[in-house]
Chain A
Amino acid sequence: MFSNFYRKLIGYLIFTVIALGLFSCNDFLDIESNRTAREDQQWETIDDTRAALMGVYGLTRAALAENNTHWICGDVRSGDFEVLIRPDLKAVVNNDLKKPYPLLQDISDWRRFYAAINAASIFIEKSPRTVENDRSYSEQNLKYDIAQAKTLRAFLYFYMVRIWGDVPLVTHSYDNGEFPEIGRTSSGDVLTFVKNELRSAIHTLPFELGTSSNQYYGKQGSEWRGILLNKISAYVILAHIAAWEGNYVDVETYTTFIMDNADEINARYINIDDLTSSTGIFYTNSNWRSSRLVSFTFPFSESESTQSGHIEQLTLADPVVQKSRPDIYISKDKLLSIFDEIDDYRLGFDPETGKYYTNYIHNLESQYPVFSKIKVIQDGSPRDNNYAVFGSALIFSRLEEVTLLRAEALAANNRPEEALQYLNIIRESRGLRSFSFKKDLNEERDNVIQAVFDERQRELMGEGWRWWDMIREQKLLDNNPQMDQLINQKGIYWPISNKVFINTSITQNSYWK
């Protein structure tokens, strides 16, 4: 059908196409893009170090707050809160942590912690370069920054040890293209490393970052309070590591130092109104910010407020925000058994009006009471509650928490009457009467310890402590056989996410196999 000419033409065409297909380019484009920031361009000026340091803080905040980790591990898992509908939260309450819900898988994935640790390690290794390159970045500035990075790294490791037990210890930045498979180090060794880091950091970190004559990154010390870490923050972390290990002698030493030096950073005891107000201690720029000893903030003014990453996402509902039912709530019976004294400002009964105080709970008499202790919507003073992003800070510790920890340590060290003195400080500030060692507690040390933990349950409700307190309570009092079994079988830890097992030298936690 086709003439000879056509055949030839087609033949040549096919030949050309095949020939072209066989040859390919080998050269990649070898012109450097001038739009990406390269490694050797970093660490030139003080702005680079500031960005890097704040980046470490940001990554730490994300590791703790993403998917509401801090509160799910600390409060929801303890069983104080009941879950209305969500099956993934119910699995947490039932300690069924291997169920294939995305929330549980995301929380079990520790890589977000290692991202922050890596950022801190890079900072520690690379920032000295900036001292040579930029004269406005002083040696002292460098020392403060490295101390903060070390403290953050240490804090992250401590947090991970609490959640997973044995974790890989990575102390270099590994930004050199290697991907070595690092196995798990025992928690004892990790904590030893952490403690050494912190002990060196507390000598360098000041109480206040920046003075009026010598500003820190352009701001005075009072502007960094409650936002960045200081010497007291490092002591707080050390105190909690000691408590986790059961070393109550050290806990007492550290908490004494903190309480004796609280004035240096203007940390004070807070009354119930400012604790639970929308512009109180949980609000970033509040007057009480310096009472936040270790905290990570979400300022609305910097557009850093989010929905997830705050307990309010789970607990708030009508009338506080426009949501008909809360995700988690504490039942009325449980509340009345926890807050068993009528005078308690947190959830007591005001006999003049006949109403329960609404500091902690709204709508006590509805089917699902709303836990409204923490309620910083937007910047705390929103025009309407329709745009429900939350600006509350994640407070790891405040002065009341340290006071109760000191009471716990004193009681554990067989000095119950001194312990009672500190417990009563907190009790009185919340409207309760002081306990007498003879009349109320039968002169028994164990009763004092129990009273301290009960007060912790009330004071620190919703701040991510209850589960960890329950573990320490069991270790001290041995009164909870279920928790005892969990501790022995290592069920208190979380399972490790499957995504981590690309690293073949890591195996699953024994309880979750």
Chain B
Amino acid sequence: MKKNIILSVIITLLFLSSCQNYESIAPDTFVDKHIYENSVLDYLSGKGITDPIYTFDSMLVIINEIPELSQLLKQSKGGITVFAVPDKCFESSFDQLNTYRAQKDYGEEISLQDLLIEPFTIIDSIFEVKPGIEPGTELVDTIVNYYHYDYKAQLDSLFRRYIFEGWYDSDTVLNSDQQRLTLESYGTKYRMNMSSKTLSSSGVVDGGMKTFVFSDMNESQLVDRWESTDIEHYDIYANDGVIHIITDQHNFSFGKFVNYFKNRGNEEIEKE
């Protein structure tokens, strides 16, 4: 009888102490945020970064030339979101432009400095001679055409498409409606679109890596008309804004570079 009691007590104790439940399949993976102590402008300048993979010198050149932008980046109030364009993207755009110019005989190679010139106007006067009512008198009609060229402003408008006011990191985009966000770029009404998605992995939906795609909507709601590019590193939190680095396979300006600048240097000829 005693033996039985002791036995049953031991068995009961064993049943009461069970093993800990393991957590569910996909524990929350905590990814460290990438925090940068200085400002966005400092990040682009490479301050405090050892072994930078990308350089953003072309961006800095453009920012310095356009006073409104450098002011925005020096003191922004609501935070800014910058899609950083590595130098290689500018190089590919210029390569594409120069190859086009070479194959179509538009002129010599041009570089960034050729585009950052002050706006100028070409004045073209056309004299039309009309015979008068009486012989010996002639009327001369002067038509003056003004051709205004402002490459700097065009470059500026292309560049602004990569800068937005506000803090938009990948989580904000992920949590928005349909995981897409349409925003107007800084100072213009030109809309760009960001979308983010978590892929599935090993059978776990939303357990894989995040993709972040940045698109130029080309003023259309049809996704087919958009130009998209991948973001390589996202969510770099600086003091005054978030930085996302675009893949270096991107061509700066989403395919508009050749159209905008193919005629640079041919302004005198164009009027004819």
Contacts and interface: CB of A to CB of B under 8 A. Distances in A.
Contact of B255 (A343, A354, A363, A369): A354
Interface string B106-137: 00000000000000000000000000000000
A363 B250 CA distance: 10
Interface in B195-219: 199, 211
A355 B96 CA distance: 11
B262 A351 contact: yes
A181 to B, nearest CB: 48
A365 B100 contact: no
A340 B103 CA distance: 10
B229 A365 contact: yes
A398 to B, nearest CB: 29
Given A351-B262, A365-B229, A342 B255 contact: no
A369 B250 CA distance: 11
A369 to B, nearest CB: 8
Nearest to A433: B103
A341 B232 CA distance: 29
A364 B249 CA distance: 8
Nearest to A355: B255
A355 B258 CA distance: 10
B259 A367 contact: no
B249 A324 contact: no
B103 A366 contact: no
A146 to B, nearest CB: 52
Main secondary structure, interface of B, reads: mixed
A342 B96 CA distance: 9
A325 to B, nearest CB: 10
A365 B96 contact: no
A257 B145 CA distance: 63
A332 B259 contact: no
B235 to A, nearest CB: 18
Contacts of B227: 355, 365
Given A342-B99, A366-B229, A351 B249 contact: no
Contacts of B103: 341-343
B199 A365 contact: no
Contacts of A365: 227-229, 247, 249-251
Contacts of A369: 249
A353 B257 CA distance: 11
Main secondary structure, interface of A, reads: loop
A507 B211 CA distance: 51
A343 B104 CA distance: 10
Interface in B217-272: 227-230, 232, 247, 249-251, 255-259, 262
B254 to A, nearest CB: 8
Given A354-B259, A367-B232, 14 more contacts: A324-B199, A332-B249, A342-B104, A343-B103, A349-B96, A351-B259, A351-B262, A353-B255, A365-B227, A365-B247, A365-B249, A365-B250, A366-B230, A367-B230
Nearest to A331: B249
A15 B257 CA distance: 99
Contacts of B251: 365
B204 to A, nearest CB: 15
B105 to A, nearest CB: 12
Nearest to B255: A354
A366 B199 contact: no
Nearest to A340: B99
Interface of B: 92, 96, 99-100, 103-104, 199, 211, 227-230, 232, 247, 249-251, 255-259, 262
Nearest to B96: A349
18 contacts: A332-B92, A332-B249, A341-B103, A342-B103, A343-B103, A349-B96, A349-B258, A351-B100, A351-B262, A363-B228, A364-B249, A365-B227, A365-B247, A365-B251, A366-B229, A366-B249, A367-B247, A367-B249
Contacts of A363: 228
A354 B258 contact: yes
A417 B140 CA distance: 58
Contact of B100 (A324, A342, A364): A342
Interface residues of A, number: 18
Interface string A371-410: 0000000000000000000000000000000000000000
**Of B230, B255, B259, which is in contact with the most chain A CB atoms at under 10 Å from its CB?**
B255
A363 B226 CA distance: 11
Interface in A329-362: 332, 340-343, 349, 351, 353-356
A349 B95 CA distance: 13
A356 B59 CA distance: 24
Contacts of B211: 324
Contact of A351 (B92, B232, B258): B258
Contacts of A354: 255-259
A353 B220 CA distance: 14
A366 B227 CA distance: 11
Nearest to B99: A342
Contacts of B100: 342, 349, 351
Contacts of B230: 366-367
A332 B251 CA distance: 11
Contacts of B250: 365
Contacts of B259: 351, 354
Nearest to B89: A365
B259 to A, nearest CB: 5
A366 B96 contact: no
Interface string A176-206: 0000000000000000000000000000000
- The 7 lowest CB-CB distance pairs between A and B, nearest first, are A354-B255, A366-B230, A354-B259, A365-B250, A355-B255, A365-B229, A342-B103
B162 to A, nearest CB: 14
Nearest to A341: B103
Contacts of A340: 99
A370 to B, nearest CB: 12
Contacts of A355: 227, 255
Contacts of B199: 324
B129 to A, nearest CB: 38
Nearest to A350: B255
Nearest to B100: A342
B247 A366 contact: yes
Interface in A280-303: none
A355 B262 CA distance: 14
A355 B249 CA distance: 15
